[in-house]
Copies of this chain bind each other. A is one copy, B any other.
Amino acid sequence: MPAQLLDGQKIAADLLRDLKSEAAHCTTAGMKPHLVSLAVGPTAGAKAYAARQAQVCSELGVGFEERVLSEVTTERELHAALDSLGRDPKVTGVLLAMPLPHHIDPRRAQSAVPVEKDVEGVHPTNVGRLMVGTQSAAPCTALAVMELLKATGESLRGREVVVINHSEIVGKPLALLLLQSVNASPTVHVCHVATRDTFAHVQRADIVVVAVGKPGFLHGEHIRPGAIVIDVGINRVPVTDAKGIPAKDRQGRVKTHLVGDCAYEEVRESASWITPVPGGVGPVTVAMLMRNLVLCTKGMLEGAGTWKGGR
């Protein structure tokens, strides 16, 4: 029996419906959620991401602005801009678009994001709050994986979870989120580029979270039957025909589509649950960004003493 589908589109839509109502409560309480995406210089990736944010903010009825600083902005000027967003009472969420130009240190820049408006959970203080389990904004992709696991309805307690990624935005925060419960956490295995035999670990896993950026990295034979597979990979590959020849569009350009890190059709035969790509982790990650924005807005309302609801 093929795996059940973890439909990120549907999960995200449900989350966004609730968030829309929470956002409306914030607005009624006197603070409309308002996200500013700050980029330094124009980059194609940041632009596409900002367009997606603009769309979801509009759906949620919350404010959104994209601000693009000149690519010759100095580090000092960027920090000043972030500081100014921190002091602007209208702004409740700040996102610093990556990548930054080479002359700007990304670590120092992330530390300059106003901590209470840090919708991507990248400020060191928010990372630390994640370790100690305080409810605060956390990296969106890691939160999305947790949300997808929750949607399976399966308990995580004592399950063997293999995470194939040890970055600061996926693997490490996800490990901390998975280990947050004192008595009911899963056992967490973090694999990465230096791991000797990743597939041996995958073979024993009840849950596999793969984020390596390699199409077809995981095959059906690697997966323990009945495992839950969360595919974080987003890879653009050529569309090929039955003979493996890349298809072209009318202009003669190679057609492409998005795939994850799993050989989807194969893995689906072994797994109990699987996220598709696209339509799995991606939409839920955007919903988590909105959840962080609402959380930051509520925090500001609490700080101002005008919020009566819970977080």
Contacts and interface: CB of A to CB of B under 8 A. Distances in A.
Interface of A: 107, 110, 123-129, 131-132, 134, 157-158, 160, 166, 168, 171-173, 175-176, 179, 181-196, 201
Given A124-B129, A128-B125, A179-B166, A196 B187 contact: yes
B185 A187 contact: no
23 contacts: A107-B132, A110-B132, A124-B124, A124-B129, A124-B131, A127-B127, A127-B132, A131-B168, A158-B195, A160-B196, A166-B179, A171-B179, A172-B179, A175-B188, A179-B190, A183-B194, A185-B194, A186-B194, A187-B190, A187-B194, A187-B201, A188-B190, A189-B190
Contacts of A132: 107, 110, 124, 127, 168
A201 to B, nearest CB: 7
A106 to B, nearest CB: 9
Contacts of A124: 124-129, 131-132, 134
| Centre residue among A128, A160, A189, A192 by max chain B CB count within 10 A | A128
| Centre residue among A126, A157, A190, A195 by max chain B CB count within 10 A | A190
Contacts of A194: 157-158, 181, 183-187
A186 B126 CA distance: 26
Contact of A128 (B128, B187, B195): B128
Contacts of A157: 194
A186 to B, nearest CB: 7
A78 to B, nearest CB: 18
Contacts of A191: 187
A128 to B, nearest CB: 3
Contacts of A131: 124, 127-128, 131, 168, 172-173
Across the A-B interface, the 3 shortest Cβ-Cβ residue pairs? A124-B128, A127-B128, A128-B128
A210 to B, nearest CB: 15
Contacts of A171: 179
Given A127-B127, A129-B124, A195-B158, A175 B187 contact: no
A194 B196 CA distance: 26
Nearest to A184: B194
A271 B91 CA distance: 57
A186 B166 CA distance: 11
